[in-house]
């Protein structure tokens, strides 16, 4: 693939110096140089997005600082290298803080330093192109989020999410852990036509207020190599989506800063006087809705309603029993697609077991159970014994979660003991403190039933 | 200076020849402004000159022009007689640099003819 030609602007009123810069830069392949003798001429063409602008600090129509400000106002991503005859550190720091890419003094080192800048720029441009190509490739492979379910509450949440995707305001999704809040946030992201844009998730758990601040808003600091700028997630997402988990656990000061961001769509990072614009969408996740916060005085109404224009409740899985079969089959298809050539199916008993489970871990738990069942299934049918429910004994499961008659429960217990004690009727009768005849009668009934 | 640009002699020659043209014009203006006593014009000339001298590696003359620049800065926009005295003193140095420049151009031309 041929390398793209990058455009470099030289803004210099001294014709000899302009020629010197042009001659230096043109030694690089794939570089096109355009020269301007006034700031105004350059500003008018900044829209063409040059890869680099070298700007003389003293121009006939404008000072370097004003020219830099005007260029960045037109295109804030412009990389402007200020070239000056002055070796004034204060001016250099000031210009760098205002957003200049670098500061060069006109001396015998200028050429070498400019070469380094252009070399790095070409490397950067190549990486950016590579990044874009990979992003496009990745975008092609992104599967659209599928929301499976017929339950009325769930359908309502899905419909609200579709409406929320048209909103340019914060959204709150609340519901128990594992209920699919993040998936719903991704659905909103994709439904808003942002699939190719970044989708980032942030959790404040385990972070101090300062760490939260740095991760979200970024920071600027002076190091031995100059001014370093670390952009926060709010800027990194561009026009994409930032999902903030455990919304109610964010420190109050951060919440207040987010309120300001939501109002003005811009902010200053720590230690910086550079104004960052926020173009992306914020989605907040929480296990509880705003009513709970108001009742427990956790968060004020101003914060909640400024940050979230819409609240969507994601129902727990045990509230949408009718969806368990649908979801189980969907997860089965997903898991089996990677593991087996033939997609297995659930036996009737296996499905009953799933439908009778309470699913405190919601969708996350169901997914884990199904994935394990696919691995455990010996044939093309996932049977009841393949459904392993963690943290619950088989006996408890049978007794507490399934609705059966007392006689059925009694029989199952006896059979379980018979299996456990290798069909030794006397031992089982002793263990269960029942008569031997009860066991013989049961076995007789069972044999008769099978023969019939 | 030439050595630091080795490998790019034709470009350097072109730049040096152009600089020689500017140098001569600036030197003429420099002498004229000293006579006329126009500090502001002198300030403009030295500013451009300084960039060129520094870039081409004429460190000694750059420092001397830098001293004049300092006096001009301190007195700007009122031109002090000191500025013109210093500027006058620098004329001799500038003539010497002109000689160095000429020699350098000849050296590169000879190198390219080989």
Average pLDDT (A61-88) is 87
The CA-atom distances, in angstroms, between B65 and each of A208, B48, B61 are 55, 11, 6
Q: Do A23 and B11 touch (CB under 8 A)?
A: yes
A372 band by pLDDT with thresholds 50, 70 and 90: confident
Which of A102-111, A233-242, A286-295 has the least mean pLDDT? Answer: A286-295
If residue A55 lies in a helix (H) or strand (E), which one and from where to where?
strand A52-56
Asked whether residue A339 carries a pLDDT value surpassing 50, the answer given is yes
Residue A25 neighbours by CB under 8 Å, 6+ apart: A8, A10, A31, A33, A114, A118
What pLDDT sits at residue A26? 84
C-alpha dihedral, B69 to B72 to B77 to B79, nearest 10°: -140
Q: Do B47 and A106 touch (CB under 8 A)?
A: no
Residue of chain B with shortest Cα separation from A14: B48
What pLDDT sits at residue A298? 66
The CA-atom distances, in angstroms, between A397 and each of A224, A296, A335, A392, A393 are 64, 36, 25, 6, 6
Q: Share the mean pLDDT of chain A.
A: 84
Q: Do B50 and A19 touch (CB under 8 A)?
A: no
For chain B, state the CA radius of gyration: 15
Please calculate the CA angle A361-A365-A367 and round it to the nearest 5 degrees: 150
pLDDT tens digits for B86-113? 788 888 888 888 888 898 889 888 888 8
What pLDDT sits at residue A391? 62
CATH architecture of A148-315: 3-Layer(aba) Sandwich (3.40)
For chain A, state the CA radius of gyration: 33
pLDDT tens digits for A258-292? 988 888 888 888 877 778 888 999 999 998 887 77
What pLDDT sits at residue A393? 47
What pLDDT sits at residue A34? 93
Asked whether residue B69 carries a pLDDT value surpassing 80, the answer given is no
Name the phi and psi angles at A386, rounded to 5.
Answer: -80, -15
B8, B51, B56 ranked by CB distance to A85: nearest? B51
Asked whether residue B3 carries a pLDDT value surpassing 50, the answer given is no
CATH class of A6-133: alpha beta
What pLDDT sits at residue A395? 46
What's the CA gap between A326 and A311, in Å, rounded? 26
Domain boundaries, chain A: 6-133, 148-315, 319-451
Average pLDDT (A302-331) is 88
CATH architecture of A319-451: Orthogonal Bundle (1.10)
What's the CA gap between A278 and A213, in Å, rounded? 15
Average pLDDT (B41-63) is 80
What pLDDT sits at residue A93? 86
Residue A5 neighbours by CB under 8 Å, 6+ apart: A30, A31, A32
Kindly report whether the global pTM for this prediction surpasses the value 0.95: no
What pLDDT sits at residue A297? 66
Asked whether residue A203 carries a pLDDT value surpassing 80, the answer given is yes
Measured between beta carbons, the chain A residues lying within 8 angstroms of B52 are 14, 16-17
Nearest to A241, CA basis, from A295, A302, A193: A193
Q: Do A17 and B55 touch (CB under 8 A)?
A: yes
C-alpha dihedral, A232 to A237 to A239 to A242, nearest 10°: -100
Residue of chain A with shortest Cα separation from B62: A107
Asked whether residue A299 carries a pLDDT value surpassing 60, the answer given is yes
Do the domains at A6-133 and A148-315 have one common CATH topology? Answer: yes
B33 touches B94 (CB < 8 A): no
């Amino acid at each position: 693939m041929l390398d793209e030609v990058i455009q470099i602007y030289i803004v210099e009123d001294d014709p000899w110096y302009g020629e010197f810069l042009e001659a230096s830069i043109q030694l690089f392949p794939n570089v096109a140089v355009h020269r301007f003798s006034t700031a105004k001429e350059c500003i008018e063409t900044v829209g063409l997005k040059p890869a680099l602008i070298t700007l003389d600090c003293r121009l006939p129509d404008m000072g370097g600082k004003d020219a830099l400000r005007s260029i960045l106002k037109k295109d804030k991503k412009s990389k402007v290298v200020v070239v000056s005859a002055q070796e004034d550190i204060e001016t250099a720091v000031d210009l760098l803080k205002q957003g200049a890419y670098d500061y060069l003094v006109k001396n015998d080192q200028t050429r070498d330093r400019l070469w380094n800048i252009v070399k790095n720029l070409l490397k950067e441009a190549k990486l950016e192109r590579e990044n874009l190509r990979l992003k496009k490739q990745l975008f092609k492979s992104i599967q659209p989020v599928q929301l499976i379910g017929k339950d009325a509450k769930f359908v309502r949440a899905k419909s609200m999410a579709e409406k929320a995707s048209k909103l340019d305001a914060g959204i709150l999704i609340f519901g128990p852990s594992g209920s699919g809040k993040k998936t719903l946030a991704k659905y909103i992201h994709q439904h808003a036509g942002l699939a190719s844009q970044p989708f980032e998730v942030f959790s404040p758990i385990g972070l101090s207020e300062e760490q939260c601040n740095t991760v979200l808003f970024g920071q600027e600091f002076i190091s031995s190599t100059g001014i370093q700028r670390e952009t926060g997630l709010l800027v990194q997402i561009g026009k994409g989506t930032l999902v903030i988990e455990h919304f109610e656990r964010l420190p109050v000061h951060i919440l207040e800063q987010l309120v300001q961001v939501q109002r003005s769509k811009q902010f200053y990072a720590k230690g910086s006087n550079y104004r960052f614009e926020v173009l992306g969408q914020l989605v907040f996740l929480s296990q509880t809705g705003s009513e709970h916060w108001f009742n427990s005085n956790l968060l004020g109404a101003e914060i909640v309603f400024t940050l979230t224009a819409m609240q969507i409740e994601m129902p727990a899985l045990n509230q949408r029993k009718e969806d368990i079969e649908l979801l189980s089959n969907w997860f089965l298809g997903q898991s089996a697609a990677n593991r087996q050539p033939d997609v297995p199916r659930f036996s009737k008993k296996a499905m009953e077991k799933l439908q009778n489970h309470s699913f405190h871990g919601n969708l996350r738990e169901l997914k884990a159970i199904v994935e394990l069942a696919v691995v455990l299934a010996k044939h093309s049918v996932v049977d009841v014994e393949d459904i392993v429910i963690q943290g619950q004994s088989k006996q408890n499961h049978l007794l507490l979660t399934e609705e059966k008659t007392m006689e059925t429960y009694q029989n199952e217990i006896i059979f379980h003991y018979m299996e456990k004690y290798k069909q030794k009727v006397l031992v089982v009768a002793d263990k269960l403190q029942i008569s031997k005849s009860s066991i013989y009668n049961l076995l007789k009934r069972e044999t008769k039933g099978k023969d019939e | 200076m030439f050595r630091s640009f080795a490998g790019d002699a034709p470009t350097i020659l072109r730049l040096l020849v152009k600089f020689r043209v500017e140098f001569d014009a600036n030197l003429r203006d420099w002498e004229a402004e000293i006579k006329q006593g126009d500090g502001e014009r002198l300030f403009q000339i030295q500013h451009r000159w300084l960039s060129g001298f520094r870039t081409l590696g004429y460190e000694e003359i750059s420092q001397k022009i830098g001293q004049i620049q300092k006096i001009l800065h301190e007195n700007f926009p009122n031109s002090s007689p000191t500025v013109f005295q210093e500027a006058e003193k620098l004329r001799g140095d500038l003539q010497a640099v002109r000689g160095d420049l000429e020699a350098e151009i000849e050296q590169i031309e000879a190198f390219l003819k080989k």
